[in-house]
Amino acid sequence: MPDPVPVTSRLGQLACQSLQLLLLLAALCMGIASVRSVESDIVLPARVLAAAELKYGAGARERLAAWQQLVGSAHGRLEADKLRLVNDFFNTIPFVSDLEHWGREDYWATPTEMLASNGGDCEDFSIAKYFSLVALGVSIDKLRITYVKARDINPVSQAHMVLTYYATPGAMPLVLDNLIPEIKPASQRPDLTPVYSFNGDGLWLAKARGDGKAVKGGSGNISLWRGLIARMGKEFD
């Protein structure tokens, strides 16, 4: 199926790759793809914790247990608190490029892989925050994984990914970023130029720093998501 819009950059290619499988990923990760908003605990089997510890050391078990505890303890909190708690939690994980961490150019890690291995890149941060907030009952209508061009990084513009949160439809989104720990409105992040955004329901072309224009159509190559989905729940089998 052709791409819904002309794709001229890696940003656009990755966004188009992601559209159709996001809802399935949510189902496999949290078991909640059939609902808009519900709180759900993250429960990792003892064998997963043991296998993570065996592969990555005692710190892996501790980080995964802390993730479960974070989600369990944040149920019923205000959404602003949930955003802050999740953003702060994952931003303690070191940034490591895919090539250095996984030995390949592009690898989208599951939240379990990211935490166990204690490293990830911008895609991994955004994905882990997204599914953690979904587990905390934040509606997927309010969340979008957003591809941007980030200025002043080493020191040129680079492809980057953040998670954006819309309190209401069409509102100025808040940006959850691993580069800057503070959650800020997109209007206060002039260093980021939005390109595409997506969630379990759709794909949007960027429109300034607001809601954007919905794009209809299928996706192209979905190998990154297919690989991610295949690993969900099987990271240590």
For residue range 186-196, list pLDDT tens digits in order.
999 999 988 88
Selected residue with higher pLDDT from 33 and 208: 208
The pLDDT value recorded for residue 236 is: 87
Q: Which residues have a Cβ under 8 Å from the Cβ of 46 and sit 6 or more positions away?
A: none
CATH topology of domain 10-29+38-231: C8orf32 fold (3.10.620)
Q: List 136's β-bridge partners, or say none.
A: 39
Q: Which residues have a Cβ under 8 Å from the Cβ of 34 and sit 6 or more positions away?
A: 27
Helix (H) or strand (E) holding 10, with range, is helix 10-18
152 pLDDT higher than 80: no
CA distance 233 to 237: 8
Nearest CA to 168 out of 139, 136, 131, 203 is that of 139
The pLDDT value recorded for residue 205 is: 63
Query: Is the separation of the CB atoms in 213 and 205 below 8 Å?
Result: yes
111 pLDDT higher than 80: yes
78 pLDDT higher than 60: yes
What pTM, to 2 d.p., does this model score? Answer: 0.79
The pLDDT value recorded for residue 17 is: 37
Please report the sign of the dihedral spanned by the C-alpha atoms of residue 83, residue 89, residue 94, residue 96. Answer: negative
Average pLDDT of span 208-234: 59
230 pLDDT higher than 90: no
- Under the banding of pLDDT at 50, 70 and 90, the label for residue 113 is very high
Q: Which residues have a Cβ under 8 Å from the Cβ of 145 and sit 6 or more positions away?
A: 18, 126, 127, 130, 161, 162, 163, 164, 197, 198, 199
Q: Quote the tokens at residue 75.
A: 């149920």
Phi, psi of 20 (to 5 degrees): -75, -20
- Under the banding of pLDDT at 50, 70 and 90, the label for residue 231 is confident
Query: Is the separation of the CB atoms in 23 and 199 below 8 Å?
Result: no
The rounded mean pLDDT for the chain is 79
The pLDDT value recorded for residue 210 is: 56
CA distance 3 to 13: 9
Lowest-confidence pick of 67-76, 108-117, 162-171, 222-231: 222-231
Q: Establish whether the linkage from the previous residue to 169 is cis, with ω within 30° of 0.
A: no
Neighbours of 70 (CB within 10 A): 19
The pLDDT value recorded for residue 207 is: 57
The tally of CA atoms less than 13 A away on the side-chain side of residue 162 is 27
